[in-house]
Chains A and B, each alone.
Chain A
Amino acid sequence: MSALLEVENLTVALPTRAGYRNAVDDLSLTVGLGEVVGIAGESGSGKTMTALSLFGLLPNGARVTGSARLDGTDLLALRGRRLRDVRGRQVAMVSQDPSASLHPILTIGTQLTEHMRHHLGVSKSEAATRAAALLDTVRIPDPEQALGAYPGQFSGGMRQRIAIAVALAAEPRLLVADEPTTALDVTVQAGILRLLDRLCRERDLSVIVITHDLGVMSALARRVYVMYAGRLAEAGDTSRLLTRPRHPYTRGLLDALPHPEAGQAALVPIGGTPPSLGAVPGGCPFHPRCAYAEASCQETRPAAVQASGETGPHLLACPPDPLRELS
């Protein structure tokens, strides 16, 4: 599978009271054509900052280094008009909260056709036809009538479907979905997951799905990157990563989930809380919360390298590798 997006050594530094701090630290990832890739981690792990950097939407004062090449074009270097040409056309985003991402007093039709006409140069009537077809694709009943309706007239699940339709209107090649189903019911979530999966297969759409829900990850993503405190902790094939996690943090995330098989045993939370941006510990950022931490973990900051004993590509940033024997 050829790579559509190649992010290399991405570092995003945000201004804090104590100076610049890295919200994303030396992250590299690739997304293949038509591939669904997941980014997992607790809040504050740099998932959303990674996504925003691809759109030039970082907060004021943020410093970005590294590169993010989409078919050879470095998204991080684009400015002004060239950035606008890519944004929406090549890369599009679906955010967590559809009531915040849709404009409340513009009709669905306006929001669906505006950038479609700008990017694709189609006529007004052609755009309306395409918009109705899109709404049909995302299973909005009576699409013609929905074009004239306002976001407030739809339920949360339907609004998220509409937000996905808006993101897809200019036929982007990469969709970044930031917690696309976190605010929704499980039944609606199931519908959205099936929709995203279908779009990938039908349109060769590449998707980066950002979520802390490993169940969603398991259903959708082929490969998963697990981030902690802005750094890559572990990356690999979803089935491998979820059945045989090598990083203690991935293991902890899995143990914190309720398992249908586990009966009524107490949940196993990860002790402590994720570090705030200004207070990332030295050495391995996870060592204060890690049950397997050794003295060396406090000193050297581990880089993600190919894990020993894995047949496929599997990156691991944990030199002691305490879970190797278990896997």
Chain B
Amino acid sequence: MTASQENPVRSDPVLALSAAAVEYRRHGQRVRALDGVDLTLSRGEIIGLVGESGCGKSTLARAAVGLVPLAGGTVTFEGQPVAPLGLRRRPGRLRGLQMVFQDPYESLNPRRKVGDLIADGVVLGGGSRADGRARAAELLARVGLPATAADGYPHEYSGGQRQRIAIARTLAAGPSCLIADEPISALDASAQAQVANLLTVLVREEGIGLLLVSHDLSVVRQVADRVAVMYLGRIVEIGDTATVWSNPVHPYTEALVAAIPRADGAGVLPADLPGDVPDPASPPSGCRFHPRCPVARDDCAVTEQQLVTVSGRQVACHVRAPLPGGPAPAAHGGSAAPGAASLCGLSTRTSSTCCPARCCPPAPSRPPPTAPSPRSPPPRRPACPTSWSPTSRAAGCCPG
């Protein structure tokens, strides 16, 4: 079962980014936060956009709705270019392109009633205030809140309820495309599930395209049809969620998946990816991930990476997904599993010499996941092995 089979309306594009680039100015220096991104979102489709902070996820989301001007490329909504937001009124044809912001405590005007906030969308579309109020009641019911909520102020509601109010407000404009920038990050665990489910239901039932920006991979995995992994302004891997998740090809995707702590009670520490996202003002040459990459080769610092289709997804890594006609790929998978060992900083050591079970969780997704048994009692993690000592730390063991 793949996501694309579940989602028959995949071929009806609503939002398209083509070679989109965004530049900011900082201390007179040009910082390219988004560097040539291609992405197509269809009606009824959810694309999850993931990556570390500073990788350009939010910039992409803001560029998609026209909140920041483009330095290159195009963004089109239903075939029409998305003009950057200026002082003038936003053209009515863009009303179907709406955004849900991260923090529902800041995105709702605290001095206006919930019903008025929602009715604005209807009034802007040419409806009367009375229409707006009637529609607000419907929409509140749609997002699972009582119609009486229209008479309250935002501060009377919890984070999860506020985020639902914010979603109802975007629905008032009758959107065909929603951009949600970390819509559930600020919420409690159970409220996260409620809002994620609500977004999924809306997308499926109303045929809205949803671009879901999140640093929480596990939520994206649960709701998105396709997932796009960004690193330093570029998409490094994009494909069906199940495919990318179960067998990530790009070493960065692999590291992200391995870093998720699992609530299975096994006491396994997640794998560390050393280092930070580099400053986009001076990105590394060649492949931008190469300084942190466990499988980097010498030529990675020189060669620009291009997205190549390999095993059902697009990947920008010429080590693991070489260009057609290029050199043979490095060992990906199998017993060598170079990435798995070096993800915890052990590139020159075998995992068996270092902190068994603690340092080296099961190699990320390799071998491909077998039937899991999440409810079987896993062995409690062993105490730190006797072989561990400060000297072994100095020798590069247990990097922490």
Contact = CB atoms under 8 A, between A and B. Distances in A.
Contacts of B258: 190
Interface string A239-252: 11111100000001
Contact of B272 (A194, A242, A265, A268): A194
A187 B273 contact: yes
Contacts of A269: 190-194, 197
A13 to B, nearest CB: 23
Contacts of A84: none
B48 to A, nearest CB: 12
Nearest to B1: A263
16 contacts: A186-B256, A186-B260, A187-B273, A190-B261, A215-B260, A215-B263, A216-B261, A217-B263, A219-B269, A239-B265, A239-B380, A243-B376, A257-B193, A260-B245, A261-B374, A266-B200
A304 B80 CA distance: 62
Contact of B190 (A217, A239, A253, A259): A253
Contacts of B53: 156, 185
Nearest to B372: A261
Contacts of B264: 218, 242-243
Most buried by A among B197, B267, B271: B267
Interface string A151-171: 000011110000000000000
Interface stretch (B131-139, B211-219, B333-341): B211-219
A258 B219 contact: yes
Contacts of A262: 222
A254 interface: yes
Nearest to B218: A258
A252 B189 CA distance: 10
Interface in A254-313: 254, 256-270, 273-274
Contacts of B194: 269
A260 B242 CA distance: 10
A214 B264 CA distance: 9
Interface residues of A, number: 59
A197 B158 CA distance: 34
- The interface residues of chain B, by DSSP majority, are classed as loop
Nearest to A195: B400
Main secondary structure of the interface of A (DSSP, over half): helix
Contacts of A99: none
A260 B223 CA distance: 12
B39 interface: no
B189 A257 contact: yes
Nearest to A191: B272
Contacts of B155: none
A218 B400 contact: no
Contacts of B216: 186
B262 A189 contact: no
A117 interface: no
B215 to A, nearest CB: 5
Contact of B188 (A43, A240, A267): A43
Contact of A266 (B191, B197, B266, B358): B197
Nearest to B215: A185
A311 to B, nearest CB: 12
B399 to A, nearest CB: 7
A188 interface: yes
B183 interface: no
Contacts of B218: 215, 257-258, 260
B161 A189 contact: no
B268 A268 contact: no
Nearest to A197: B269
Nearest to B187: A43
A103 interface: no
A324 interface: no
A218 B200 contact: no
Given A42-B188, A189-B261, A239-B380, A218 B267 contact: yes
Contacts of A185: 52-53, 215
